[in-house]
Structure 1
Amino acid sequence: MKAITHEGSGGHERLKFTDAADRRPGSNEIKVRLKSAGLNHRDLFVMQDRPQPDLSWIPGSDGAGTIEEIGPEVEGFSVGKEVVIHPTLGWKRSADLPKVPEILGGPTDGTFAEFVTIPAENVFPKPTFLSWAEAGVLPLSALTAYRALFSQGKLQAGEHLLIPGIGGGVASYALMMAKAIRASVTVTSRSKEKLRKAIELEADYGMDSGADWAADPNMHKVDLILDSIGGAVFPRFFPLLNPGGRIVSLGAGTEAQIELSLRELFFSQFSLIGTSMGSREEFIEMLHFIETHRIRPVVDSVYPLSDTAKAFDRLTSGEQFGNVSISIAR
């Protein structure tokens, strides 16, 4: 099969479009013929920090396609069925937290290929109203946003959400999901174009990332902050929160270390909550939410499988809004 492989130490400059071996499904596995896949910043982190860099490996955690072959003990599936892939391996119930979530596409071979073989419990029917490009970029980012907002952040209708650094896949899903339950959403960005696109997605207000947010007369106190930036902006959060407000951290695009005032934390009874990926249980809930509210992923651009390295150039430029998609049509 054709695939994108990574070998050696380095980032996406080490990617190669080549022939790779696929495999038949085991007793409880399904082989999927992929139609599309999605890029995530996680792919870049795994490339840079591989424990065995000399081994050839296929990246990619997001994907959608049709069932090609079914393992002998698998029931309830049929060849040709259109499916999406749940990328978290082995985490079934939300309450059973793993030490570190195991994710498709690192260390296991992933979705930047014509075929992928995965556990049957990670295969779900594709939402029929989504295109292949939309379905292929849905799983990881939408699952991360869903858990961050609802399982961890407990966002409710009528509350006010702040999303610093709008533009990436998780942020765009979080915006659309929050608006679907009638929450208010404020976003920030250094890009006027990204702020404009966020307003088109029904964000209530947009601010420049470099502005004094607390001094903005149009900025009202917030109940929840969804942070993927980290130390560079964290000290600016507490003055923005209502008493009892929550900060959900799902990444650290800048410094991982933060300054934290314990007095502010306990006097105003703020909550600082971490989150990463999501369980099979939450993936099912997320798919139901997406279908109920007819949320369509924001696809920034589509590249053929052979141009995956160029697609990562787009991702690392920071100019994208939404998800970057890979087309794997034969």
Structure 2
Amino acid sequence: MTTPPLLPDTMAAVLLTGHGGLDKLVYRTDVAVPKPAPGEVLVKVTACGMNNTDVWVREGAYGTEEDAAAVSTWRRQGNTLTFPRIQGADTVGTIVATGEGVLTGRIGERVMVDFSIYNRDDDSLADIDYMGHGRDGGYAEYQALPAENAHAVDTDLTDVELATFCCAYLTGEHMLERAGLKEGERVLVTGASGGVGSGIVQLARARGAIPYAVVGKGKEQAILDIGAEKVVTRGVADLPEAVAKATGGRPIDVVADLVGGPLFNDLLRILRPEGRYTTAGAIAGPVVQLDLRTMYLKQLQLHGSSQGTRKDFRRLVRYIEDGKIRPLVGGVHRLSDFHRAQSDFMAKAFIGKLVVVPDAVHDAQADGRS
């Protein structure tokens, strides 16, 4: 029989207290440790990856409580964000307690968390939410979550390395799944040095496809090293010409776009007739101009994508266990230094993912105890 560890009553956590600047993120050490409800587990957090969504939610980019036309209100429940909220989607840690109906034998499992809150039993994503928005996430020492979302992963990767996959790679995998990327096809990835983009480069290779990447200056070699066939430096005068040169005139079957903004029309021009465009972000601007003639005369498919399905997550776990994808740790920060962590994240001077760890875990790793 597994004996549950003694748990504290309070924990350290970063609370999002409202929409606005970094001052809305408050580090506290007196937050109540959550208790797992029936069907849930309590995870002692050892690492949590950072994402653009954390910033956009803080800034109110998806809409605010006062905004009746909030982007997030497409969900069945309306805007599920309430304050204070603990953000953080990419949790890795150890199960330390179980709720009613969950085997106590799971205590002690090291798990990677599927951050999606599924409101349906099938694989439709028409009604989803996510941890760190609809319920508390992993920027804390403990997190309670549905037991089905806690996945044991058979890997020698460290907790920090494992925390680089969750949100970014699941998002990327669902983008490629929606676009139907097949073995031997060519995919152009924008924003390829970020968490999702660098993940897509590797996920495309895992499918047997050929990834080409658009990256910022100085990051070209790093993206070639993880599997890009060729790279194009962002900001070239004629993107379609530069891509054609990189591919040797071969067609691009799929564009996986995370940038949007002024690049959008060029990306549609780059696609072959009957090509597929898929997007899960717009870091250069969400509002774009679309020439419908390009879309219908080339008979293009346009796919919006967000998060991923249970099947996508299980496939991601298999990729990790089979060594088909590898982590890219761009930096590690203490939980108490969260303002600096998010400032570094927004500066985008790294490749891959930034990861936050609770102070006690960080100190133990620094001392060689973990």
Give the TM-score, by structure 1 length.
Answer: 0.93
Q: Give the superposition deviation at 1:62.
A: 1.0
Question: Residue in 1 aligned with 2:47?
Answer: 36
Q: Match of 2:241, as an amino acid?
A: A
Q: 1:63–1:137: 8 Å Cα contact kept in structure 2?
A: no
CA distance in 1 between partners of 2:121 and 2:282 (Å):
26
What percentage of residue pairs aligned between the two structures are identical? 27
Question: Residue in 2 aligned with 1:196?
Answer: 221
The 1:86/1:261 distance shift into structure 2, 3 A limit, reads same
Question: Residue in 1 aligned with 2:192?
Answer: 166
Q: Give the superposition deviation at 1:231.
A: 2.6
Question: Residue in 1 aligned with 2:254?
Answer: 224
Cα-to-partner distance string for 1:286-306 (whole Å, 9 max, x where unaligned): 211232244222110011111
Q: Give the superposition deviation at 1:59.
A: 1.3
Q: Residue 208 of structure 1 is aligned with which of 226, 229, 233?
A: 233
Larger RCO (CA within 8 A; separation ≥ 6)? 1
Greater alpha carbon shift after TM alignment, 248-257 vs 73-82: 73-82
Does residue 300 of structure 2 align to residue 274 of structure 1? no
Q: Residue 104 of structure 1 is aligned with which of 118, 131, 137?
A: 131
The 1:92/1:35 distance shift into structure 2, 3 A limit, reads farther
Cα-to-partner distance string for 1:237-269 (whole Å, 9 max, x where unaligned): 122112211100111212322222222222222
CA distance in 2 between partners of 1:78 and 1:63 (Å):
17
SS in 2 for 1:218: helix
Gaps of 5+ in 2: 1-10, 67-80, 365-370
Gaps of 5+ in 1: none
Q: Residue 81 of structure 1 is aligned with which of 96, 103, 109?
A: 109
Q: Match of 2:47, as an amino acid?
A: S
Q: Give the superposition deviation at 1:177.
A: 1.1
Q: Aligned pairs, how many?
A: 327
CA distance in 2 between partners of 1:307 and 1:91 (Å):
34
Q: 2:17–2:84: 8 Å Cα contact kept in structure 1?
A: yes
CA distance in 2 between partners of 1:146 and 1:281 (Å):
10
Q: Give the superposition deviation at 1:92.
A: 5.7
Question: Residue in 1 aligned with 2:21?
Answer: 11
SS in 2 for 1:109: coil
The 1:252/1:77 distance shift into structure 2, 3 A limit, reads farther
SS in 1 for 2:18: coil
RMSD: 2.0
CA distance in 2 between partners of 1:175 and 1:54 (Å):
35
The 1:171/1:91 distance shift into structure 2, 3 A limit, reads farther
Greater alpha carbon shift after TM alignment, 229-238 vs 62-71: 229-238
CA distance in 2 between partners of 1:153 and 1:8 (Å):
36
SS in 2 for 1:233: helix
Q: Following superposition of structure 1 onto structure 2, how do residues 241-256 of structure 1 map, counting pairs within 5 Å?
A: 241-256=271-286
CA distance in 2 between partners of 1:203 and 1:274 (Å):
23
Q: Match of 2:246, as an amino acid?
A: N
CA distance in 2 between partners of 1:84 and 1:218 (Å):
37
CA distance in 1 between partners of 2:321 and 2:122 (Å):
21
Q: Following superposition of structure 1 onto structure 2, how do residues 1-330 of structure 1 map, counting pairs within 5 Å?
A: 1-19=11-29, 20-49=31-60, 51=65, 55-75=83-103, 77-91=105-119, 95-99=123-127, 101-150=128-177, 152-192=178-218, 194-211=219-236, 212-216=238-242, 217-219=245-247, 220=249, 221-328=251-358, 329=361
The 1:21/1:89 distance shift into structure 2, 3 A limit, reads same
Cα-to-partner distance string for 1:180-212 (whole Å, 9 max, x where unaligned): 2332111112322x1111011121111121111
The 1:253/1:77 distance shift into structure 2, 3 A limit, reads farther
Give the TM-score, by structure 2 length.
Answer: 0.83
Q: Give the superposition deviation at 1:230.
A: 1.4
SS in 2 for 1:286: helix
